[in-house]
Amino acid sequence: MIFTDTHTHLYAEEFASDRNEMMQRALENNITRFFLPNIDVHSIQPMLDLVWTFPENCFPMMGLHPCSVDADFEAQLFQIHKCFSKRKFYALGEIGLDFYWSVEFKDQQIIAFKKQCQWAIDFELPIVIHSRNSTTELIEILKEINNPKLRGIFHCFSGDENQAKQIVEMGFYLGIGGVLTYKNSGLDKAIKEIDLKHLVLETDSPYLAPVPHRGKRNESFYLLEVAKKLAEIKNVSIEKIAEITTENSKIIFGI
């Protein structure tokens, strides 16, 4: 039984004091594949350092997070684009739109997202999408681009049933994390009719810890709580959840 955490910031400062112990907790509990999303130019080296330490388990992505898009975003994109000529990355991520904290750079976020989508098409890589308060807008943009080569994951999906159906109909997967365990999230209802072949597991560590750890630092070991809840909703074994979601991750990332 192998679990895959398709979205986890294990290189973050929040793990500075116990990163190795945290990794061992996950590895000892069959969580052995970790896909690491980049944030901005400052997170590149910490992410790659972790990949260097755990080369058989950690797989890096490269992209500019929408919350890091500002007046200087073109310069950051230039630096990020150069990274693709230096080593292998497994996705463009995490990219997308975030209209929760601010819409000051809304237009720039859209430009940055579209540009990185084109890179994904050019490099034949999946995209990993951040969609806070912007799922409808992102679905519209992807339909507008309308390129069959564009594929990937709506990370930390928290939309409704209609949005879930639209996303999987476009060939994208839904990233399911700790929000699934929250009592009033409604995510259980949104994905009830979505086949497991369209879902992957994630933690978004150190954020969005599942129940019973809600409000604390999240870590990849807690992926098991998400898997248990999904198994309950789908009325299957946790082994089946591990098998199908890990196979889905292999289809997406090619490894």
Band of pLDDT at residue 49, cut at 50, 70 and 90: very high
82 Rama class: left (phi>0) / alpha (psi -120 to 50) / beta: alpha
Whole-angstrom distance, CA of residue 58 vs CA of residue 76: 24
Structural domains in the chain plus CATH codes: 3-253 (3.20.20.140)
Q: Is pLDDT above 90 for 233?
A: yes
pTM over 0.95? The answer is yes
Residue 207: strand, helix, or coil = coil
DSSP β-ladder status, 31-36 and 3-5: parallel
pLDDT in tens, 69-115: 999 999 999 999 999 999 999 999 999 999 998 899 999 999 999 99
